[in-house]
Chain A
Amino acid sequence: MSSDPFIRLREVCRNFQVGDETVHALDHVTLDIQAGNYISVMGPSGSGKSTLLNMLGLLDQTDAGSYQLAGRELTTLAEEARAQVRREKIGFIFQSFHLIPRLTAAENVELPLVLAGMPASERRAKVQQVLQGLGLQERADHRPAQLSGGQQQRVAIARATILQAPLLLADEPTGNLDSHSSADVIRILEELNAQGITLIVVTHDTNIGGRARRRIRMVDGKVVKDET
């Protein structure tokens, strides 16, 4: 290995109790991911790919194993510290966008800055800049319901990247989009990756999954294929 990996997973396990049965959503997963890589995670439903993403994003816990991000062990962190890592290091993009319907596009994008406690005067310029970069400046005062799916996902991307998190996690980012918007969103994500963001995309779509530089396939909580 040439350098220390950005993400280092060792024997990570995550189990769920379904009735009497224990489901191994992550079954001793060991992975190294270099900074700036572009990775797709594919696999059938219930293979654990979403659990992997949630675990990487600190939304979910691990039951065993080690997770280091940029050399820092995260499995032992307390809740407040995990929240801080999420805020500063990780951007999320969801299939259903998860924009807050009562807030305008600009306000949705502003939310991470608000949570980080940035003063209002500094926030405005930053939001303006990010929206402009994604061609959304005309839509800044629209509410999510007034935006197309593609536009909503672009707002979500703006929100995920406004604090320049080095890790971007996308869970089926094109799942609710038509092919044109999908291509658009993938292009934006790839541009962000080209700028140095580590991008991990969970998808069903082999066309999208196939574009990644490194393609991971999961079945029953195990990594069964890992190609570059």
Chain B
Amino acid sequence: MTPPDTLQFSYRALRAYPGRTALILLAMCIGVAAIILLTSLGEGARLYVISQFQGLGSNLLIVLPGRSETTGGAPPLLGTTPRDLTLDDAIALYRSPAIKEVAPIIVGAAPVAYGSLEREVTIMGSTPALLSARQLTLASGQSLPDTNPRVAAAVCLLGETVWKELFASRNALGEWVRIGQTRYRVIGVLAGKGQSLGMDMSDMVIIPVASARNLFNAPSLFRIIVTAQGQEQLAQARRDVETIIRQRHDGEDDITVIAQDSLIGTFDNILSALTWALGGIAAISLVVAGILIMNVMLVAVSQRKAEIGLLKALGAPTTQVLRLFLTEATLLASAGGFIGLLLGLGGVFALNQLLTDFSVQPPWWAVIASVVVTFLTGLLFGSIPARQAARLDPVAALSGR
């Protein structure tokens, strides 16, 4: 029997039992569509997070107080709390030639009032370097004064949301708002940037770092964002940050420096694992579909015993009977997989129409894997019924026993 004839014969057999065929196609199809959709969501999440990080700029180091790595050895007898990062620490970093800008940050919350309107808003104390480091742009007005960061000034920049709520989108430049007990003059309004790493950059007010220190009565910094001169100087900048702070902190390594690409790498790993896990969960449905194929094929074999007996009587060798039933199973699985692939890609397309700022796309490996896996599923789960068919005793099979 030639391969085209085998294919034709199997195809006709599948056509002869439309209900059964449709059932298996549906099962395979759901399995593959689930794999495509779930991995697409995972991949979409991964790409989304990476793009969010890249929105931060690529030459950044984030300096946090305290050591995040655990060190070996016994814990100190006397508890040592990490030294705080101070504004002077931040200013000292400018000594490094590899560092371009330093943005010290103090974060807190305070009521902001204009006229009769008042609301609790996140206040960020920093320097003009913050705007370039976080790639914030001004919709109107000017940035914070680029003077000595130790000097407080009663000026502020409003985030877009705060401006809209307090000023109902009217001109705010030159107006005075009250933050806590102090009045600040609005000198600029930020262009909307939206969410960045879970922090709504449009729903905050930026004031000079020294003013924030006074406002919150706290000398320590939340963190420092360091911008290196370039990508190549990032490693040097990191070493300089560590050296300078160690010198200032009596030889203690009590800060953590995070490079943005290592952050991306971590999230990339986590979200890739998530995508694989989602794919794995969806793959279970393929296994279930495979078992369904096996069951339905076993029923088919017992229903078509007489036909199998006849084929043997007509001189079909055992291997030919095996091939016929394997072809049926793989044909079913592959067709179901193909329809599922189309359905999954259709679902991805529909999701992309619904979600505007979140792009869903199937990872290439999921597309290839789902096609290969469906084929193998057919082959694997079809082999048991096919072998059973091939082994049937022709005399018993012909009499339907």
Contact = CB atoms under 8 A, between A and B. Distances in A.
Given A59-B312, A98-B306, A114 B9 contact: yes
A57 B2 CA distance: 25
A122 B398 CA distance: 29
A33 interface: no
A79 interface: yes
Nearest to B394: A59
Contacts of A92: 313-314
A103 to B, nearest CB: 7
Interface in B305-361: 306-307, 309-320
- A-B interface, 3 closest residue pairs, ranked by CB to CB distance from nearest: A87-B315, A102-B16, A83-B317
B395 A115 contact: no
A115 B311 CA distance: 8
Given A114-B1, A114-B9, A115-B1, A94 B398 contact: yes
19 contacts: A59-B395, A79-B317, A79-B318, A83-B312, A83-B318, A84-B315, A85-B315, A86-B315, A87-B314, A87-B316, A94-B398, A98-B398, A101-B16, A103-B12, A114-B1, A114-B9, A115-B314, A117-B1, A117-B5
Nearest to B12: A102
Given A57-B313, A60-B394, 6 more contacts: A59-B398, A87-B316, A98-B310, A98-B398, A100-B307, A159-B314
Contacts of A94: 398
A92 B311 CA distance: 11
Contact of A102 (B5, B13, B306, B395): B13
Nearest to B13: A102
Contacts of A85: 315
A79 B391 CA distance: 11
B395 to A, nearest CB: 5
Contacts of B313: 57, 59, 86, 92, 98
A115 B316 contact: yes
Nearest to B397: A59
B343 to A, nearest CB: 29
A226 B75 CA distance: 106
A112 interface: yes
B15 interface: yes
A188 interface: no
Contact of B318 (A54, A80, A112): A80
B310 A112 contact: no
A80 B315 contact: no
Contacts of B9: 114
Contacts of B309: 98
Contacts of B394: 59-60
B317 A114 contact: no
Interface in A108-132: 111-112, 114-117, 119-120
A88 interface: yes
Given A80-B318, A87-B314, A117 B2 contact: yes
A88 to B, nearest CB: 7
A78 to B, nearest CB: 10
A31 to B, nearest CB: 20
Nearest to A112: B314
Interface in B1-50: 1-2, 5, 9, 12-13, 15-16
A119 B1 CA distance: 9
Nearest to A163: B315
A116 B314 CA distance: 10
A100 B10 CA distance: 13
Nearest to B321: A83
B315 A112 contact: yes
B44 to A, nearest CB: 46
Interface in A31-69: 54, 57, 59-60
B91 to A, nearest CB: 87
B327 to A, nearest CB: 14
Nearest to A59: B394
Contacts of B16: 101-102
Chain A CB within 10 Å, residue with most, of B12, B306, B313, B395: B313
A85 B310 CA distance: 15
Contacts of A98: 306, 309-310, 313, 398
